[in-house]
Amino acid sequence: MATMESLIGLVNRIQRACTALGDYGGGDTAFSSLWDALPSVAVVGGQSSGKSSVLESIVGRDFLPRGSGIVTRRPLVLQLYKIDEGQEYAEFSHLPRRRFTDFAMVRKEIQDETDRVTGKSKQISPVPIHLSIYSSNVVNLTLIDLPGLTKVAVEGQPETIVLDIENMVRSYIEKPNCIILAISPANQDIATSDAIKIAREVDPSGERTFGVLTKLDLMDKGTNALDVLEGRSYRLQQPWVGIVNRSQADINKNTDMVAARRKEREYFATSPDYGHLSSKMGSEYLAKLLSKHLESVIRARIPSITSLINKSIDEIESEMDHVGRPIAVDAGAQLYTILEICRAFDRIFKEHLDGGRPGGDRIYGVFDNQLPAALRKLPFDRHLSLQNVRKIVSEADGYQPHLIAPEQGYRRLIEGSLNYFRGPAEASVDAVHFVLKELVRKSIGETQELRRFPTLQAEIAAAAGEALEKFREDSRKTVVRLVDMESTYLTVDFFRKLPQEVEKVGNPAAGRKLPQEVEKAGNPAAALALDRYSEGHFRRIASNVSSYVGMVMETLKTTLPKAVVHCQVKEAKQSLLNHFYIQIGKKEGKQLAQLLDEDPALMERRQQCVKRLELYKSARDEIDSISWAR
Ligand code: GDP
Ligand code: MG
């Protein structure tokens, strides 16, 4: 069940979280504005007007340095936490984990900590001391004790001290969320009150100023403060509360708080002047009044606090998206993460090949332009020149010229020509290899998930590179084999279909005798030899070889791309990271963690995000649970 106290407790927790974050150095602007949105209570007033005494009696504990002269020299931010049971204790933020149960020691630590910053002087410092008190006798509140306002610098103080104190006090109470406890001593004319003067300056309408009148017991006999307490002297929106604190004599006598409260209650109950107001006087009543006021202030602020928190959560979440979510610590989850990232990369790579992302078309470009162009440029003209044909055929014939068709000559000419196809075939393999490599590089760059893991990125790049290298080798062997296959077995049909040149007439343009004529002349061998070695004969051989080679070229134009796609493109699509997966599967937790090594700065940033997010979310949950219950 949510109560007012838990509500204020929430505020205190958020404020404490803010302080923690502030110390943490997060530079969190949302948190500082949240801090400003939460109310606190500050005591202001002239020196020795009883500020520290009032705070003490609200807390119900003696722990503040009090006395005449400038005692409070640094702001004291005091957070009260109500605990259900157990011994009450205090903690300073500058001494975390040290629990003070002796409140005399708390007072001493406040004095010592003040001196640590200001020296044992009458100087002041605006650096606050943070103190938390956990007790079953308090309500949850944040209170701020401030140095008293003065009018002149005394011995040992700089001339500027009057203004310095005023400015410091103002810096606390000018915040719209600060509830001002304006302390004025009853034994001075209210018209001279420093507290009311500065409070009116920062809160002209008086809606957040509580007038507190101390030292009612010290008023001159025959006078009373009814005009002030009943709001006739100076009107505030909140009711005035009269207080009787311990006198210096009481303090010297070590009068305890319980006795002091009883005495105060008795004072009002039996006072002829204030008896009718006794239920609305005294420090206990002031504490309740403050609590109630705080509650209404906080309730009014809940929507804006919630929206501020939600906004901050959104901001942190989007920052988390940017720096990446935290990685799991166990090996199974790490393996899962790595595989997920690999799959993301693989998906992008496939999109590049299949379309959807650019680049895959360049492979078709290799088959459609590069390969045919390279084939066209092959030096068949030179290879099948009359001169070369004659040379190769003659060499193949050896000492015995061929009789009908130069079988060996044909084979050598064809083999020689087909060998030229290796070049473009291998070039296609390389060209596709480079396209694939480039696509891997691009895909790695486009895999968002990989950005935070430079090690994994390098490993994937290396694994993919190795796989592509292997595919290239397979592909190269395959296309070379395709070319070799063409030379090892020639298409017999092609040659059978060739016209039988022996019966044909030789080249008449050569101006030599026709073989028949020679034959008629009674020298058949000479006729044959003449025919075999005529230009026309070689030209025919060249043209036959050339059309055979042309036929093979047409075949290779279609089979080479098939081989390349089969060995490289299809493999890259199906099994680019297969080997890598096997390796990953064998790795131990520590090695997996190494793969998921991140930039330390990034990790640090994420940790901060996680911490802040937790803080905000718990604050939101608490507000949610409080704001609807009552
Ligand atoms: P501060 O300088 O405003 O913090 O004032 P302190 O709380 O230190 O009090 C200054 C002196 O006034 C102390 O000696 C207190 O005992 C005394 N004093 C404060 N309030 C009262 C009061 O209501 N009645 C009496 N008799 N003395 C008080
Ligand atoms: Mg004081």
Give the length of the chain: 630
CA distance 182 to 236: 11
Task: For residue 249, give the ligand 1 atom closest to its CA.
Answer: 16
Q: Which ligand is nearest to the CA of 218?
A: 1
**pLDDT tens digits, one per residue of 206-224:** 999 999 999 999 999 889 9
CB 545 within 8 A of CB 412: no
Helices (H), 398-514: 407-419, 422-446, 454-488, 492-496
Look at residue 214 and give its three-state secondary structure. Answer: strand
Q: Which ligand is nearest to the CA of 215?
A: 1
List CB contacts of 119: < 8 A, sequence separation 6 or more: none
Angle at 627 between CA 621 and CA 630, to 5 degrees: 125
pLDDT of residue 110: 92
Substitution candidate for ligand 1 out of 48, 58, 217 with most atoms within 8 A of CB:
48
From the options 3.40.50.300, 2.60.40.10, 3.40.190.10, 1.20.120.1240, give the CATH code of 331-504+527-598.
Answer: 1.20.120.1240
| Beta strand residue intervals within 48-127, DSSP E | 76-82, 89-92
Look at residue 178 and give its three-state secondary structure. Answer: strand
User: At residue 576, what are phi and psi to the nearest 5 degrees?
Assistant: -60, -45
CA distance 424 to 422: 6
Substitution candidate for ligand 1 out of 44, 49, 51, 53 with most atoms within 8 A of CB:
53
- Helix (H), strand (E) at residue 627: helix 600-628
Substitution candidate for ligand 1 out of 59, 169, 245 with most atoms within 8 A of CB:
245
CA distance 515 to 549: 30
| CA of 71 relative to ligand 2 center, distance in Å | 6
CB 337 within 8 A of CB 328: yes
User: At residue 20, what are phi and psi to the nearest 5 degrees?
Assistant: -60, -45
CB 216 within 8 A of CB 244: yes
- For ligand 2, a single-atom ion, which residues have Cβ within 5 Å? 51-52, 71-72
Show contacts of 333-337: CB within 8 Å, 24+ apart.
334/589, 334/592, 334/593, 334/595, 334/596, 335/584, 335/585, 335/587, 335/592, 337/596
| CA of 68 relative to ligand 2 center, distance in Å | 9
Look at residue 183 and give its three-state secondary structure. Answer: strand
Angle at 404 between CA 398 and CA 406, to 5 degrees: 45
Query: Which residue do the tokens 């640090």 mark?
Result: 604
CA distance 17 to 35: 9
The gap between the terminal CA atoms of the chain, to the nearest Å, is 7
| CA of 85 relative to ligand 2 center, distance in Å | 30
| CA of 108 relative to ligand 2 center, distance in Å | 14
Substitution candidate for ligand 1 out of 44, 64, 145, 247 with most atoms within 8 A of CB:
247
List CB contacts of 347: < 8 A, sequence separation 6 or more: none
Q: Which ligand is nearest to the CA of 214?
A: 1
Name the pairing type of β-strands 209-214 and 178-185. Answer: parallel
* Structure-token pair, residue 158: 């700089």
- Helix (H), strand (E) at residue 79: strand 76-82
Domain 38-301, CATH: 3.40.50.300
Distances (CA, A) of 154 to 68, 123, 159, 357: 13, 10, 9, 80
pLDDT of residue 81: 78
Look at residue 596 and give its three-state secondary structure. Answer: coil
* Structure-token pair, residue 433: 């290899």
| Partners of 130 in beta bridges | 77
| CA of 76 relative to ligand 1 center, distance in Å | 17
pLDDT of residue 15: 58
CA distance 190 to 211: 10
CA distance 277 to 260: 19
Substitution candidate for ligand 1 out of 66, 122, 184 with most atoms within 8 A of CB:
66
Residues of the chain with pLDDT under 50: 1-2, 23-27, 502-522, 526-527, 530-532, 629-630
CA distance 222 to 172: 38
pLDDT of residue 295: 76
CA distance 258 to 460: 74
- For ligand 1, atom 9: residue with the closest CA: 50
pLDDT of residue 527: 47
CB 284 within 8 A of CB 290: no
Which residue in 510, 538, 507, 528 sits closest to 390, CA to CA? 538
Q: How far is CA 209 from the centre of its chain?
A: 44
Task: For residue 49, give the ligand 1 atom closest to its CA.
Answer: 3
Q: Which ligand is nearest to the CA of 51?
A: 1
CB 179 within 8 A of CB 208: yes
| CA of 185 relative to ligand 2 center, distance in Å | 13
Within 6 Å (CB) of ligand 1, which residues are found?
Answer: 45, 47-53, 66-68, 71-72, 148, 214-215, 217-218, 243-248, 251
| CA of 331 relative to ligand 1 center, distance in Å | 66
Task: For residue 145, give the ligand 1 atom closest to its CA.
Answer: 4
CA distance 44 to 172: 10
| CA of 59 relative to ligand 1 center, distance in Å | 16
| CA of 109 relative to ligand 2 center, distance in Å | 15
| CA of 48 relative to ligand 2 center, distance in Å | 7
For 60, other C-beta atoms within 10 Å of its C-beta total 20
Query: Which residue do the tokens 């190269």 mark?
Result: 476
* Structure-token pair, residue 465: 């590179």
- Domain spans in the chain, listed from the N-terminal domain onward: 38-301, 331-504+527-598, 600-629
Task: For residue 183, give the ligand 1 atom closest to its CA.
Answer: 3
